[in-house]
Structure 1
Amino acid sequence: MAADARSAREFLLTGVPEGLDALVLARIAASAGPEVGGTSLVLHVARDDRRLEALHQALAFFAPKLRVIAFPAWDTVPYDRVTPQPDIVAQRISALARMLVIRPERPTIVLTTVSAVLQRVPPRDA
């Protein structure tokens, strides 16, 4: 697995049991850093917000030195008259701002959900 992370620019890892996934992600991020010719950015797409939060907490335990950016989905549906919760808006803006300044020398894991990946975000230069 670590060799795959070092030799490939992108790879897909599936079937990792819950509970072990945080440790696997931390090891991948640490082993694929720029000192071994790779990138130190790992993207993990969780199935829902609950799983994203559990993974975020597990990563804080297993790898406290890793930079973890959580990008949650909106808590409303498109074209709904209800506005999103202010804390969700703040988390998304903060995550986007932190993603703009990712440095390859520091391992980073971006956690998001399927719903968040499907939602549009402003372009980088906006």
Structure 2
Amino acid sequence: MEKVRIDKWLWAARFFKTRSIAKQAIEGGKIAVDGQKIKPSREIGTGVMLTIRQGWDDKTVEVIALSDQRRGAPEAQRLYRETDGSIALREKRALERKAGLGSFIISEQRPTKKQRRQIHRFKRDMDDQQD
């Protein structure tokens, strides 16, 4: 096998659970081949550098082997090698996220009237301090 579609390879390498999710990620611009955005039908070979964004993380991997069949995780990990810089950057960003976890609040609902007033008051006070 000399070439394989990138959506099949991403699925086989277990970056995505289904090929359709891999296709959506490619179409959404979350996958780049050698720094260029691509289409799901793009065929890749060995030695290609991929940049993959998953959640908070960006991974830079080199394609070592090709497969169009999904197998176990140990076999899937033999298809690629993540660069040392990518691993270090991911670990650094994970530590930054853990350290700054309390600095922002993620809410699943809209703010209440009282919370909106507090937000407006905070923003107004910040603007006054800058002037």
Normalising by the smaller structure, the TM-score range is under 0.3
1 or 2, which has the higher strand percentage? 2
RCO higher in 1 or 2 (8 Å CA, sep ≥ 6)? 1
Provide TM-score, normalisation by structure 2.
0.22
Which structure has the greater CA radius of gyration? 2
Provide TM-score, normalisation by structure 1.
0.22
